[in-house]
Structure 1
Amino acid sequence: MLRDITIENYRLFEKFQIEGLTQVNLLVGANNSGKSSLLEAIYLLVNHEDRTALSNIIDNRFVLKSRLRRDREDESSNIFPVSTLFRGYKPRKDYHITLSSQKDQQMSLKFNFIESKPKRNDRGVGVSLQFTSGERKFDNSFDLDELFVPWYREKYQVEKPKVNKHLVTADRLDQQSITNLWEQIILTSKEDTVLEILRTLEPNLERIALINQTTPGMSVLIKIKDNEVPIPLGSMGDGMYRIFALALSLVNCENGALFVDEIDTGLHYKALIKMWRLVIETAKRLNVQVFVTTHSWDCLTAFHQALTETSATDLGSVFRLERKDDQIKYVSYSGDKLAVAIDHDIEVR
């Protein structure tokens, strides 16, 4: 389990260290305080063996689709998306992003641009990921085209390794991702857990099935009690689809980590308490470390209530990030300190 992380030159962070990470971590703060960037940095560090973690992060920031698919002769079309990861958007070959942890898991990941041998239309610009953990070391270097361009990745068979660490964003999971995750749990107790979590929004849910159909919103069907006709999950609203993606990702992270950006999107306060209770219980049972962001006071109070109801106050912490003079600072709340903050309506968002 990750207990700390030090971040250098990543997005908003010049040098930032956070300690006291627990099993379930809620990151709060104002807009542009660094919540999502911290979530990403931890995701990249624990996914050091998965090069597509980088493209996932960049794609989620809406810069990849718009810039990368332009004229491939324009060098900036490939360099720009990766540049957004660097503080100030001005990376150099001697300028590193460094992510490291020194507590329970001692490891370090360095990331920078390098010169690479041109392959066909590639322009000789690459990325180096240097990972160190004790005596274990590796240098994973690759061309930018291998990371981003779909046809190039298929041609050179750049494969994503099987991982138990998943990122859930405000966007819907694509159908292929849902299918892959579902196939890992079908007819197991983890499928039952997904159904239990979905019932926080629809108590009459009986069954769920995936069908091979390309029509958007029709790939996932659910069976409601006393209703003979199955209905598309998408017809139940964004909240239902969102919690399905959350539950499906969570149970596929056994002995790993789950990352959720804006967990409360589309969810009512009463559903948030039930959702948090099941997330905490499932994370404990499957040994999943959870990192979540939110802007919502309701989500924060629901988190605290769920921790109290499950007698798991030692499993969860809240970290409030704030930006002052171009530096990011944080305050942590857990146990009695979190209870006092909630009871006295202290602004911890």
Structure 2
Amino acid sequence: MLSELNIEKYRGIDSLKLEDLGRVNVIAGENNTGKTSILEVIESLERPNDLRAWRLIGRREGNSMRISTTSYDTMKSLFPINNENKKTSIVYSGEYNNKLFTVELTGEFSDTILNDEQLEKIRGYRHDYGTTEYEHNEYEVSLLDIYYKINGENFGSDKIYNVQRGFATSTDIIASIVENVVYVSPTQHANNSFYLNALMTDPKLYEQFVEIMKEFDPDFVSINSVEDEMTRSRKYVVLSKKFNEGLLLNAYGDGMKKAMLLLSALLKAKDGILLLDEFETAIHVSVMGKVFKWIIENAAKLNVQIFMTSHSLEAINSVLKCCPDMQKDIRMITLVNTEDGVKARNVDALKAIQLMDEYGLELR
């Protein structure tokens, strides 16, 4: 498990220490304290020197993949803000499975001149460069050189120009600190993006899954993966006693789909880390306790560590109280703005419940 994470520099985070992490870690705090940024750093542990992975993390900002940005702008947004120097860095370290690690991405910003041939090559246009005639134009562009260093060892570099949409990584060997990290966004369920295959191959967990689905539809029987005869693609069909035929999963409400996503994501994250951003989205508080009781109880069995963020005090309270026997394994991490920047306050679930019930303290 990840027992400690020190984020020295990342986006707006500066010198944030997270210590004594548990099996389940609930992260709360005011807006712009860095809740999602913490999840991003943890997600990067799977491929810390992979430009594609970083680009995906950067494009997810605001939970919208529709925003069209260049790779240059995406990567620039990950480096510390309010930095006017031409050289900057992302730095974080920690301990995972009793092994220390450090990650450093150094970014060097510069301006350079490109001719027509160089510009078209960077933009991905294909020509017979031996015969194509070019005009003698010159273009001033911005360049970002990224150098990766993991545990003090150089692990490749990449170049990104502000005029290119795509990118080509030059890193040959991809490092990995955590072998399996699964991120679930607040709106992923709405896109019918699930991990149900893993759930369907485990009879015992699938049986428990069916019982939880009955909280949303008492007549729920099963969910099956079938092949579309026209497109040959796979789709999920739900069988319910109240309908004469199976219904496509997208015919059901967001609450049921979000529960399916969370339960299946836990299995997908086996022997790794599960990240749940704004975990309460679309799930009614009346069923939240049962859903997360299943998730937390099975996290230890599947060797999964969970980090989840939330804005909802009611949802946080439900998670903290859903598994009385495991409260010592649950951490309540509150991010607080101080004169020295954002700091983390970390207590276990028992202490967090006491602070809320006896003293009326808000831990979000």
TM-score by length of 1: 0.80
In structure 2, the residue matched to 1:334 is 348
Instruction: Identify which of 236, 254, 276 aligns with 2:252.
Output: 236
Show structure 1 runs of 5+ residues with no match. 69-76
Alignment-mate amino acid for residue 300 of structure 2: K
Partner Cα separation in structure 2 for residue 158 and residue 220 of structure 1: 37
Partner Cα separation in structure 1 for residue 320 and residue 335 of structure 2: 18
**Residues 81 and 282 (structure 1 numbering): CA distance in 2 closer, same or farther, change over 3 Å?**
same
Is the contact between residue 26 and residue 332 of structure 2 (CA under 8 Å) also seen in structure 1?
Answer: yes
In structure 1, the residue matched to 2:283 is 267
Alignment-mate amino acid for residue 20 of structure 1: D
Is the contact between residue 172 and residue 241 of structure 1 (CA under 8 Å) also seen in structure 2?
Answer: no
Alignment of 1:3-82 (within 5 A): 3-48=3-48, 51-62=51-62, 65-68=66-69, 77-82=70-75
- Confirm whether residue 317 of structure 1 aligns to residue 331 of structure 2: yes
Shift of 1:185: 4.7
In structure 2, the residue matched to 1:346 is 361
Of Structure 1 and Structure 2, which has the larger fraction of its residues in strand? 2
**Residues 171 and 326 (structure 1 numbering): CA distance in 2 closer, same or farther, change over 3 Å?**
farther
More divergent stretch after superposition (288-297 vs 299-308): 299-308
Shift of 1:101: 0.3
**Larger Rg over CA atoms:** 2
Partner Cα separation in structure 1 for residue 212 and residue 168 of structure 2: 36
Instruction: Identify which of 148, 172, 185 aligns with 1:129.
Output: 148
Alignment-mate amino acid for residue 132 of structure 1: N
More divergent stretch after superposition (329-338 vs 251-260): 329-338
Is the contact between residue 352 and residue 363 of structure 2 (CA under 8 Å) also seen in structure 1?
Answer: no
Give the secondary-structure state (helix, strand or coil) at the position aligned to 1:267: coil
Q: Deviations over 1:187-207 (max 9, x none)?
A: 334544544554443343221
Show structure 2 runs of 5+ residues with no match. 111-117, 124-140
**Residues 231 and 319 (structure 1 numbering): CA distance in 2 closer, same or farther, change over 3 Å?**
same
Give the secondary-structure state (helix, strand or coil) at the position aligned to 1:84: helix
Instruction: Identify which of 214, 219, 222 aligns with 1:207.
Output: 222
Alignment-mate amino acid for residue 248 of structure 2: P
Calculate the aligned-residue CA RMSD, in Å.
Answer: 3.6
Q: Deviations over 1:321-343 (max 9, x none)?
A: 12234710121121431231232
More divergent stretch after superposition (227-236 vs 16-25): 227-236
Alignment-mate amino acid for residue 37 of structure 1: S
Instruction: Identify which of 280, 284, 287 aligns with 2:300.
Output: 284
Partner Cα separation in structure 1 for residue 210 and residue 361 of structure 2: 36
**Residues 47 and 25 (structure 1 numbering): CA distance in 2 closer, same or farther, change over 3 Å?**
farther
**Residues 174 and 266 (structure 1 numbering): CA distance in 2 closer, same or farther, change over 3 Å?**
closer
Is the contact between residue 9 and residue 98 of structure 1 (CA under 8 Å) also seen in structure 2?
Answer: yes
Give the secondary-structure state (helix, strand or coil) at the position aligned to 2:18: strand
**Residues 157 and 314 (structure 1 numbering): CA distance in 2 closer, same or farther, change over 3 Å?**
same
Is the contact between residue 91 and residue 113 of structure 1 (CA under 8 Å) also seen in structure 2?
Answer: no
Partner Cα separation in structure 1 for residue 341 and residue 291 of structure 2: 34
Instruction: Identify which of 291, 307, 310 aligns with 1:294.
Output: 310
Q: Aligned residues: percent identity?
A: 22
Alignment of 1:176-215 (within 5 A): 178=194, 181-189=195-203, 191-192=206-207, 194-212=209-227
Give the secondary-structure state (helix, strand or coil) at the position aligned to 1:87: coil
Is the contact between residue 64 and residue 81 of structure 1 (CA under 8 Å) also seen in structure 2?
Answer: no
Alignment-mate amino acid for residue 14 of structure 1: D
Partner Cα separation in structure 1 for residue 201 and residue 68 of structure 2: 42
- Confirm whether residue 85 of structure 1 aligns to residue 78 of structure 2: yes
Alignment-mate amino acid for residue 113 of structure 1: G
Alignment-mate amino acid for residue 58 of structure 2: I
Alignment-mate amino acid for residue 307 of structure 1: C
TM-score by length of 2: 0.77
Alignment-mate amino acid for residue 131 of structure 1: I
Give the secondary-structure state (helix, strand or coil) at the position aligned to 2:99: coil
In structure 1, the residue matched to 2:89 is 96
**Residues 158 and 207 (structure 1 numbering): CA distance in 2 closer, same or farther, change over 3 Å?**
farther
Q: Deviations over 1:26-56 (max 9, x none)?
A: 0011211211111212222344365433123
- Confirm whether residue 2 of structure 1 aligns to residue 2 of structure 2: yes
Partner Cα separation in structure 1 for residue 168 and residue 198 of structure 2: 24
